[in-house]
Amino acid sequence: MAHSSRTWRGARTPQGKKRVRQSERRHEILGPRRSAAKTHIKTALSVAQTPGADTAAVEAAVVEAVSALDRAAKVGAIHPNAAARRKSRLMRKVNAAASGSSAAPSAKVARQTGKAAAAKAAKARIAAGKAAKAKGEQTAAGKARAALSKSTREAQAAAKAAEAAAPVAEKKTASKAAAKPAAKKPAATKAAAKPAAEKPAAAKPAAEKKTATKAAAKPAAEKKPAAKKPAAAKPAAEKKPAAEKKPAAKKTAK
């Protein structure tokens, strides 16, 4: 009769059952050591990265974290190499926080390629080298393929050059067509400037007005002396009869 049911997937023998008990006991003892080391590392980093942290407090936290890693490595909770790696990362981050610069992320090791991938890459390199050095003796088919590929490449390059040159030529023609009306604009400006040049003709009536005013002023100046002359002539005409009357009065007296 079997010691356990057929659906049981665990240990069946006494030695296997003993190993299960040992692993459970070891996990109960070493698990807290690993978690304690992680907790001390996290605490040390938080203390070191706080602004204005006390140097003594940072040193105490770092020493506690390093001690926890050493104890975990000593009892077998973690591998000694893992403990050394974690201590190195902790010290690098603490020093970077103390200097005020961020710690550079650790570079991951490049993954090694498998044998199949390495063989494929080697074949690709060999093929590329042969293609680059294929300038000597070739078969007729190889020469024909090379000539055909070369001619197609040249045709494609010429087509691309023509396509690239066509927009440039169109732009030049468009710029010339746009520049022609701009060249004709000075003629329009000259035509518009002609009336401005002819404006002195419009000023002639003003000059004529001045001459007309002068001509109108001259008769007014001539009229004044004409009015004075009759006034001077009137007393002379009156005096003559007075002189004639006086002798007539003397004659009557005699």
For position 84, which CATH number holds? 1.20.58.110
pLDDT value, residue 61: 94
CA distance 48 to 105: 17
The most confident of 115-124, 148-157, 160-169, by mean pLDDT: 115-124
What one-letter code names the amino acid at 21? Answer: R
- Which of 153, 171, 196 is the last residue before a domain boundary? 196
Round to whole Å and give the CA distance between 231 and 111: 139
Report how far residue 2's alpha carbon sits from residue 17's, in angstroms, rounded to the nearest whole number. Answer: 15
Asked if the model's pLDDT at residue 251 lies above 60, the reply is no
Q: Are 33 and 77 found together in one domain?
A: yes
Report if residue 29 sits inside a domain: yes
Task: Give residue 161's domain range.
Answer: 145-196
Q: What does the pLDDT look like over 28-62, one tens digit per residue?
A: 999 999 999 999 999 999 999 988 888 999 999 99
Separation between Cα atoms, residue 214 and residue 146, nearest integer Å: 105
Token code pair at residue 49: 């990265």
The answer on 62 and 28 residing in a single domain is yes
pLDDT at 202 over 50: no
191 and 215 part of one domain? no
